[in-house]
Structure 1
């Protein structure tokens, strides 16, 4: 295939030991209906054969650039790709994910005069469980007249108490390359936590306008072995690095007072997550993140659906307060544990099913599955979570 006369979009793909997935990722980019792209593959010292897969694509399509470097972490890998980018716009894709064939065409067609355009995500919450996830703002353009409404609520909405209304990921958005290059000069290459979120918030502060699109093109793959889902004994210091990287930018902004409050709330939630899930602490050392609303639960036989963060919080609170849990279920249960398969609901007597998941997208999927099992909607309860 011939190189396009003019590259419009540079696609940066950092790669590290994802040989099982990277072929599907690269192929999804090469199959795009929009052809004026360059694809910059940054192999961050893979040792599993990912390099051979990348080189095979390099031979087939001249739009591909391949760079192999010593393992230096995802921030430096992306930085290498950004330095090589020649397109007016820039898109990031993780090497274990993939995109629909019309994603880039849609993003380019919608960015117009905006500095950033977003899209929705097919998000794999757990293996085999996929939900559609998009920004919690109406579709459209947010410019100088109303962009502050996004900036002042994108991390935490003080009024609705909703966390991260703007999807906090780097890879479901199209950016202007010149702004990206300026921001990456400031990032600490040693950052190991929320590096994409830090970049995104810094980028948003420089935007004159943002376009929100809800159509889902990006497919995020859940991997239990990924760095995000593993144990990190240095998590608290990594969170502090993210905080220090953002606080000065927020203080300088015209909405600085509100921005700093948002940031501090987000950091507090991340610290709870670190202590409860990612530092390897014993399960008995658990600080509840979600407060249980017990209205309507007294005297009821309760099926608790969900064994994630919110489910574990609710199980502890219900047990300590003497409420009757007749069954605890989750779609990803393990034989021999207290949590059982949802199908067991059909074999017991109960009054209500309390769905204990933090996001409406997840709850909606569970409610549909329960209704498909023949369970009436009036026996299913989900309430918008209240965080500590």
Structure 2
């Protein structure tokens, strides 16, 4: 590779003293070395900050930024405001990555002039270790803008920031919303829509560590209901921009979320409200000429047999 652009890796850190060393070491061990490693200490009350300070002192590529506890979105935004890389990666401080992640994704991005490169991940727990396949993957795909957008709107790809490499310009006018759950879903479709070129490597490079108490693994609470506003806003934006081209698939997933939420909540007023909304959406789905029969059959199962469909 004749040109080696700087890649900024943004890592929010909050009370992960048991895991942050493994994360940072996996990034230091990358075969691609032109890195800017940004650790954002989000007001940790354990020894996370001290651990990060030691790494920053020993490795000039590492920068430690501190802020009062404001949440993961605020920490990521601070990293975005500070970073200097042409490309950006996000890693959560309790996860870790394959040593080939940056080299493989940046090589593909440069070779094909890609704005985003998506890659696979492994789910592990705190007692297991992910084994990554050595060497470079040969399983590369280029997607059209339409294919990439459908992939995320149809939830065929995870709505998370940490399984993609991004061109920095995509974040020029976009930031993670602060103070809400599902913040990833409030930004990712718009990043993909803004991108001009999108690639996919069908290989696992990221270890997502399932840890009780982490953001993605919390039990249901009422704050998660903000997802319905996020999904409604998304439908409005894309319907206005693309003349309802993607409405059926967005409608289906909004219906699915409401159906699943009804199986989890106890509040009678909320149940009645969402039952009414569920019925409206179900009628639209069944009458849709753009939605395939598989989605309609699933919608019928959610409607008529919710206890069976969503049982634990």
| TM bracket (short chain) | 0.7 to 0.9
CA 1:101 to 1:265, structure 2 compared with 1: closer, same or farther past 3 Å?
same
- Report SS of the residue matched to 1:216: strand
CA 1:154 to 1:47, structure 2 compared with 1: closer, same or farther past 3 Å?
same
**C-alpha deviations, 1:81-134, integer Å up to 9, x for none?**
0001101000000111000111100010001211101111112389759899xx
Tell me which residue corresponds to 1:200: 188
Note the C-alpha offset of 1:315.
9.5
Kept after mapping to 2: 8 A contact 1:123/1:221: yes
Deviation beyond 6 Å, 4+ runs, structure 1: 129-132, 287-290
Aligned-residue CA RMSD (Å): 3.3
Tell me which residue corresponds to 1:55: 53
Distance 1:10 1:148 in 2: 28
Tell me which residue corresponds to 1:166: 157
Tell me which residue corresponds to 2:216: 228
Tell me which residue corresponds to 2:246: 259
Distance 2:124 2:253 in 1: 22
From the two aligned structures, give the one with the greater helix fraction.
Answer: 2
> Unaligned regions of 5+ residues in structure 1, if any?
133-137, 157-163, 293-309, 317-355, 357-388
**C-alpha deviations, 1:45-79, integer Å up to 9, x for none?**
11121111101101100111101111111111100
Partner of residue 175 from structure 1, selected from 166, 173, 177: 166
Distance 2:36 2:123 in 1: 26
Partner of residue 191 from structure 1, selected from 180, 194, 204: 180
CA 1:313 to 1:49, structure 2 compared with 1: closer, same or farther past 3 Å?
farther
> Unaligned regions of 5+ residues in structure 2, if any?
133-138, 276-297
- Report SS of the residue matched to 2:244: helix
107-116 vs 117-126, which moves further: 117-126
CA 1:275 to 1:58, structure 2 compared with 1: closer, same or farther past 3 Å?
farther
Aligned residue pairs total 272
CA 1:223 to 1:183, structure 2 compared with 1: closer, same or farther past 3 Å?
same
Kept after mapping to 1: 8 A contact 2:239/2:245: no
Question: Could you say which structure has the larger radius of gyration?
Answer: 1
- Report SS of the residue matched to 1:196: coil
Note the C-alpha offset of 1:180.
1.8
238-247 vs 213-222, which moves further: 238-247
Tell me which residue corresponds to 1:141: 142
